[in-house]
Amino acid sequence: MRALAPVTRLVPRVSRAPCVSSVQSVRTLGALRSLTTAVHRTRLPLSAMTVDAKRYASQRPNVTKENALGLDDPSLVVPHGIVNGKHVDASDGGRFDVRDPATGNVIGSMPDMTAQDAAEAVRVAHETFKTWRNSSILDRQKMLLRLNDLFIEHANDIARLIVWENGKSWADAYGEVLYSASFCAWFAGECVRQRGDVLASAIPGQRNLVIKQPIGVCSLLVPWNFPAGMITRKAAPVIATGCTAVVKADPNTPFTNQAIMELMRRAGVPDGVINSITTDKNLQEVGKELTTNPLIKKVSFTGSTRVGKILAAQAAGTLKKLSLELGGNAPLIVFDDADIPTAVAGTIASKFRGSGQTCVCANRIYVHESIYDTFAKQLAEKVNKFKVGPGFDDGVTHGPLINAAAADKWQSHVDALVKAGGRVIAGGKREGNAVQPTVIVDVPTECILDEEETFSPLAALIKFRDEAHVVEMANRADVGLAGYFFSRDADRIFRVAEALEVGMVGANTGAISQAFIPFGGVKQSGYGKEGGYEGTDEFLNKKLVAIGKNL
């Protein structure tokens, strides 16, 4: 086996501006305006991209003593909670540090807000809802369109914050910003697409109307792996429907969240409509407040199945409406009739996006025995060309994992698979939080990945012989968010797509998430949808109005 390239050093070189050699395919601003999303098509030929290379090249932050994060607009750094449009701190004065995953260095601190602080934010949202619910849909639409524009105007700064906090490569971070903006554009359109119904009546002279009304105050619990994308996917429909919300930022990535809150203010979103609190050590108490407070009518959470079950149990006491997007453990199947280059590209897009830290990443990769060696070789050749390091560094395609615990989990899974007979043919090395994208072959059909989601750039290839058996293996997980497969057989495409027990299927593609599709899973991956018109309905109540005639 040839020598593996070492992981690049993890201290950013702030003296020169890098140019990322592998850039995601993104849409132009005009396409965003037409409600198209930024879709990752990593490492496709440049001719397949619509990229302004100059604009989308990495923009290294110009760090100074006065501007510690090197933003073009330093006012986007908001080291406070935001309640009723005001910057607030924790009532007990507590704060917590936020660290750069690439170096472990502290990049700033945020207030460690308490359950009492969360309750005050809920009260403000409740009072604001009384008038905001009756606001003009055209005004809400203008706000969301303006927010879309502000994302584009400040794309470099939001991407910088994502790199600082999350550790993504520049290409991944910038792509997330455009993805985030697309939800603003989509739900701006949803402002004027909300509709009810008129139903027949069994009673002569009576009319049955079905109207939709905003559900009320919502809790939005956002994750660290898409700190910009998940806030707009949840908050944009809140604004569009006339609801109000309290956002709980993830303690790993609060600066991105608060910068977006500032953009909302600039877009004209009134004070108290979207409030945001930050917390770390008080996470459980704050989470309980945001799921049990009777003023809250809806909870939207993206995270692990374990935590989702806890939140659902807490919310059950007041029967709140829930949207839960939970664990994935996605299967990916490469059939014998697949186009191998397409399957390799799709596997890379699904498995290695965001260094494997996405809920829809392929976790179990099944490859037909007749093409197993060819597929593995071509995949390893691509993966060995990746460069791992700080997201601002030259040519980096994959950043570090979010923290040491994530890297430890990657290591434990690599060790377990090798112990079970697997063989590393690409990657496999670690330095700090940075791990090389890894390909392991000769993985047994029953392994640790059946039960555990690796959430890291680890591609374990498992052989299979027939369709029925591989579908059975794919479905044996207790979760079902996404699934992927590659085939050129039209009958098989429909057959397998219908057979997979998941909420979303990618057939001959590794990219499935867009602003205008219903995103969500089945089984223990949760329930409820985000995005699409279904994502709007999640924040609306249907009400029957039966109108009789006077006697």
CATH number for the domain spanning 357: value is: 3.40.309.10
Task: Please report whether residue 5 resides in a domain.
Answer: no
Is the same domain home to 233 and 352? no
Is the same domain home to 305 and 342? no
Measured CA distances, 490 to 201, 351, 486, 507 (Å): 44, 24, 11, 10
pLDDT at residue 44 in the model: 32
Q: What is the tally of structural domains in the chain?
A: 2
pLDDT at residue 59 in the model: 75
Is the same domain home to 321 and 337? no
Catalytic residue status for 325 = yes
As given in the structure block, the two tokens for residue 532 are 């699409």
Task: Please report whether residue 508 resides in a domain.
Answer: no
Q: Is 47 left (phi over 0), alpha (psi -120 to 50) or beta?
A: alpha
Task: Please report whether residue 236 resides in a domain.
Answer: yes
- List, as one string, the DSSP characters of 231-249: HHHHHHHHHHHT-EEEEE-
Is the same domain home to 234 and 334? no
Task: Please report whether residue 513 resides in a domain.
Answer: no
Consecutive H or E run containing 220: strand 217-221
Is the same domain home to 388 and 467? yes
Is the same domain home to 296 and 368? no
Is the same domain home to 257 and 162? yes
- List, as one string, the DSSP characters of 483-539: EEEE-S-HHHHHHHHHHS-SSEEEES-S----TTS-B--EETT----BSHHHHHHTT
Task: Please report whether residue 88 resides in a domain.
Answer: yes
pLDDT at residue 480 in the model: 98
Task: Please report whether residue 14 resides in a domain.
Answer: no
Characterize the bridge pairing of strands 274-277 and 207-214: unpaired
pLDDT at residue 58 in the model: 61
Q: Residue 420: is it exposed, middle or buried by C-beta count within 10 angstroms (0-12/13-18/19+)?
A: middle
Q: Could you tell me which residues come within 8 angstroms of residue 516 by beta carbon, excluding any fewer than 6 positions away?
A: 35, 37, 186, 531, 532
The active-site residue, picked from 325, 453, 501, 538, is 325
CB-CB contact of 111 with 87 (8 Å): no
Domain of 312, CATH number, reads 3.40.605.10
Task: Please report whether residue 542 resides in a domain.
Answer: no
Domain boundary among 484, 502, 520: 502
As given in the structure block, the two tokens for residue 215 are 């559900």
Task: Please report whether residue 442 resides in a domain.
Answer: yes
Is the same domain home to 257 and 400? no
Is the same domain home to 315 and 359? no
Query: How many C-beta atoms surround the C-beta of residue 381 within 10 A?
Result: 13
Is the same domain home to 104 and 81? yes
Consecutive H or E run containing 82: strand 81-83
CB-CB contact of 217 with 243 (8 Å): yes
Measured CA distances, 406 to 83, 178, 310, 433 (Å): 32, 26, 22, 8
Amino acid in the structure at residue 36? T
Is the same domain home to 250 and 205? yes
Query: How many C-beta atoms surround the C-beta of residue 290 within 10 A?
Result: 28
Enclosing domain of residue 384? 330-502
Check residue 75 and report its DSSP letter. Answer: G
pLDDT at residue 60 in the model: 83
Q: How far apart are CA 139 and CA 377, in angstroms?
A: 55
- List, as one string, the DSSP characters of 373-427: HHHHHHHHHHHTT--BS-TTSTT--B---SSHHHHHHHHHHHHHHHHTT-EEEE-
Q: How far apart are CA 540 and CA 242, in angstroms?
A: 9
Rounded mean pLDDT for each run of 10 residues along the chain, 551 residues in total: 40 36 35 38 32 54 93 98 98 98 97 99 99 98 99 97 97 96 98 96 95 99 98 99 98 99 99 99 98 99 97 98 96 98 98 96 98 98 97 94 98 98 97 97 95 96 98 97 98 98 98 96 98 98 96 81
Is the same domain home to 335 and 313? no
CB-CB contact of 148 with 181 (8 Å): yes
* Sheet hosting strand 81-83, strand order edge to edge: 86-88, 81-83, 274-277, 244-248, 217-221, 296-302, 321-325
